Amino acid sequence: IGSSVEFDWCSVSCIRTLRTLGHTAIVINCNPETVSTDFDESDRLYFEELSHERVMDIAELEKPRGVVISVGGQTPNNLALGLTQCGVRILGTSVEAIDACEDRNKFSQLCDSLRIDQPEWSQFATLQEARNFCKVAGYPVLVRPSYVLSGAAMRVVTNDGDLDLFLKTAAVVSREHPVVISKYITGAKEVEMDAVGKAGDLVNYAIAEHVENAGVHSGDATLLLPAQRLFVETHRKVKSISQKLCRALKISGPFNIQFICKDNEVKVIECNLRASRSMPFISKTYNVNFIELATRIMTGMPVHPAIIQPMDIDFVACKVHGL
């Protein structure tokens, strides 16, 4: 389930928690190089592709009480709307909230309604619309299509020629899911909030800092935890914005928010209502299994927030992308 070992860790943590709570855990995965496809890890394993048709075939056979899609990366998350329309119960955060975050236009409008700052943005479905925005906003800009794994098919564009080439070679522009372009802020720091929500309340969270400036894919970036170079006011704003989004989306489960921070100004890049690739790193650093907490919440079990005091930690953890 998913495209990296980080999502496999999240999947296995969820499976083990479900079984500990007395549930029958059924896994759908087509990747043999994962721990989650070990026959001893789940009660039943379906070695099938993660497509709507295959998942529905299995759901009709097994008749599950619920399906968890938030621990396996972007691929299962993209199945949320179709599965719900076919009567499958998705555990955790609502499908409407997931769609509001995955559709970059809807998410930007949500941020506007909550008075949450974000880079200047617009949506487009044609090349001419894109050119018009870039002419007004000025280069560089960040081009982001809807419904992709964070960073995939995302590009920083610095001139008209690059913009034309990118949009002509990437078949991602459509009226159904228009591409959003935003003003790219040079020299800014990227910060991530990984958290678990329960019916809109923030249960546990951790703030990590990218060593590289904003623009490096979060899966490839070098992360520091606890964050080492953030102003106290920046830290406060990141938490406050996260609480606003958690309440507005009524999040129940894991989520990740990415921010651009510069000169104590904080802008939201995106919000993913699922486990991120940095969640295992954070869980191991703080010795708090965020996926276990999220799984208990998604299955209606009581949870007790762990007390995490970054100022009391006498070490710094660093996640480095392996070559």
Mean of the per-residue pLDDT values of the chain = 88
Q: Do 167 and 154 contact (CB within 8 A), yes or no?
A: no
Using the predicted structure, report yes or no on whether residue 173 has a pLDDT greater than 90. Answer: no
Using the predicted structure, report yes or no on whether residue 2 has a pLDDT greater than 50. Answer: no
Please state, in angstroms and rounded to a whole number, the distance separating the CA atoms of residues 138 and 183: 8
Query: Who has greater pLDDT, 128 or 208?
Result: 208
Q: Do 299 and 15 contact (CB within 8 A), yes or no?
A: no
How confident is the model at residue 70, as a pLDDT? 95
Task: Give the confidence band of 279 by pLDDT, cuts at 50, 70, 90.
Answer: very high
Please state, in angstroms and rounded to a whole number, the distance separating the CA atoms of residues 109 and 179: 14
Share above pLDDT 70 across residues of the chain, in percent, rounded to a whole number = 91
Q: Do 255 and 195 contact (CB within 8 A), yes or no?
A: yes
Beta strands in the chain, from DSSP E residues, in sequence order: 26-28, 44-46, 121-124, 141-144, 155-157, 179-183, 189-198, 201-213, 223-225, 253-262, 265-272, 317-319
How confident is the model at residue 143, as a pLDDT? 82
- pTM recorded for the entire structure: 0.88
Share above pLDDT 90 across residues of the chain, in percent, rounded to a whole number = 59
Transcribe 254-312 into DSSP letters: EEEEEEEEETTEEEEEEEESS--TTHHHHHHHHT--HHHHHHHHHTT---------GGG
Highest mean pLDDT among 98-102, 210-214, 307-311: 98-102
Please state, in angstroms and rounded to a whole number, the distance separating the CA atoms of residues 85 and 87: 6
Please state, in angstroms and rounded to a whole number, the distance separating the CA atoms of residues 182 and 225: 28
How confident is the model at residue 265, as a pLDDT? 93
**Per-residue pLDDT reduced to its tens digit, 184-223:** 888 888 999 999 999 999 999 999 999 987 767 667 789 9
Task: Give the confidence band of 175 by pLDDT, cuts at 50, 70, 90.
Answer: low
Integer-rounded Cα Rg, in Å, for the chain is 20
How confident is the model at residue 144, as a pLDDT? 74
Residue with tokens 């019916």, as numbered in its chain: 199
DSSP 180: E
Please state, in angstroms and rounded to a whole number, the distance separating the CA atoms of residues 81 and 102: 11
Task: Give the confidence band of 102 by pLDDT, cuts at 50, 70, 90.
Answer: confident
**Per-residue pLDDT reduced to its tens digit, 239-259:** 999 999 999 999 999 999 999
Task: Give the confidence band of 150 by pLDDT, cuts at 50, 70, 90.
Answer: very low
Cis check: omega of the bond before 140, within 30 degrees of 0: yes
Using the predicted structure, report yes or no on whether residue 149 has a pLDDT greater than 50. Answer: no
Q: Do 254 and 291 contact (CB within 8 A), yes or no?
A: yes
- Domains belonging to the chain, first-starting first, are 5-91 (3.40.50.20), 120-183 (3.30.1490.20), 189-319 (3.30.470.20)
**Per-residue pLDDT reduced to its tens digit, 33-50:** 888 888 899 999 999 999
